Amino acid sequence: MDRLSNTVRPYAWGSPTAIPALLGIAPTGEPQAEMWMGAHPGAPSRITRTTASGETELALTEAIEADPEGELGAATVARFGPRLPFLLKLLAAGAPLSLQVHPNLDQAREGYADEEARGVPVDAPHRTYKDANHKPELICALTPFDGLCGFRRPTEAADAMEALGVDSLKPYVDLLRAHPEEAALREVLTAILTADPAEMADTVAEAAAAAERLGGAHAPYARIAHNYPGDPGVLAAMLLNYVQLQPGEALFLGAGVPHAYLDGLGVEIMANSDNVLRCGLTPKHIDVPELLRIVRFEATEPGVLRPEAAPSGEERYETPVDEFTLSRYTLASGAAPTGLTAPTPQILLCTAGSVTVGELVLGPGESAYVPAGETVEAAGAGTLFRATVAA
């Protein structure tokens, strides 16, 4: 078992205070958006191992590369190759993230192979597929957490747009009411993303001013527009369900589901991939034709997940993917230790109180990596999240 030293990513949308407050450290004044825990090559966690020459600090990626089956277990390597198949994060949104969608596994493989064959550099700003993997993800709220998730009914989106009283939105309102669901959503999103940028900026400005005047259910869109003035993603956001999670509640984001996180602190877990297709709220490249191929144009209710309790004290967030599973344990002082031994690799994250795992004491925001099959128990008084590979 290893204590993890993790990188915090300073993306512009990050909260400057949420992660420092959890860690009990002073803010730097800069945004601190995500703390990554795992073996992603972009920012792998670091561990300290004892070797013949003494204690050596190394990246978790290096430890796994040196002994994949010893670290991950033979079954995990057989299923996913010699890599940790998930990435765990603390995510602290102080402003809206980009509106985005992720491909399914077949789409990712096809898209990656196509860009490789065309010689598109992997670091090119117009490159869409960074790898050949899908990126299902789950966000679990640690504080009240706001987001957008999945298309709402076209008639609901039409009502929200019509209430703004903006003449240039009338064609979108008419489309949303005149077509079958899939066609309506497809045509309106296409029209928004391909409109003349200058005309769209004027429309967004009018819509934002109206949303601010109306407040109530329109307030989130005024807030989004404040962070992304003139961005067509402000209107695209009005096509989606607005969701407010309470601490302990979660959202699962599968392939093709457009979404954006707006505000709050949460624990996020995902398949270890960088594949993101953006739909707006970003200065980055938007590949409209590929986006329209990936998006699932259907109205859905945002399924809020609550953990399912097991006799062992585990509360698991059930998802339909193999790369990861996330569980929560609420430990009480003086209770018998909770066994966490598993045949799969694990990352353990404390989010409240003080938890002892093996010989390590973890406080809020601290984490540990447990190789497959290593015996481990947890005790103390606090909250512990466990990320591992689905059985």
**φ, ψ dihedrals at 163, nearest 5°:** -65, -20
Give CA–CA dist 250/265, Å, rounded: 12
- Could you tell me if residue 119 is left (phi over 0), alpha (psi between -120 and 50 degrees) or otherwise beta? left
Q: Please provide the DSSP assignment of 313-348 as one string.
A: S-EEE--S-SS-EEEEEEE-TTSPPEE---SS-EEE
Give SS3 for 62. Answer: helix
Give CA–CA dist 255/103, Å, rounded: 5
Q: Which uninterrupted H or E stretch holds 117? A: helix 105-117
- The shares of helix, strand and coil residues in the chain, as percent rounded to the nearest 5, are 30, 30, 40
Residues 6+ apart with CB under 8 A from 52: none
In angstroms, what CA-CA distances link 297 with 104, 121, 153, 234?
15, 30, 11, 18
* Cβ–Cβ < 8 Å for 258, 291: no
Interhelix angle for 197-214 vs 219-227, to 10°?
140
Q: Is 278 among the catalytic positions?
A: yes
Q: Please provide the DSSP assignment of 265-316 as one string.
A: EEEEEEES----EEEESSSS---HHHHHHH----B----EE-PEE-TTS-EE
* Catalytic annotation, pick one of 278, 296, 328, 386: 278
Residues 6+ apart with CB under 8 A from 207: 161, 164, 166, 169, 221, 225, 234, 235
Give CA–CA dist 321/233, Å, rounded: 29
**Residues belonging to the active site:** 278
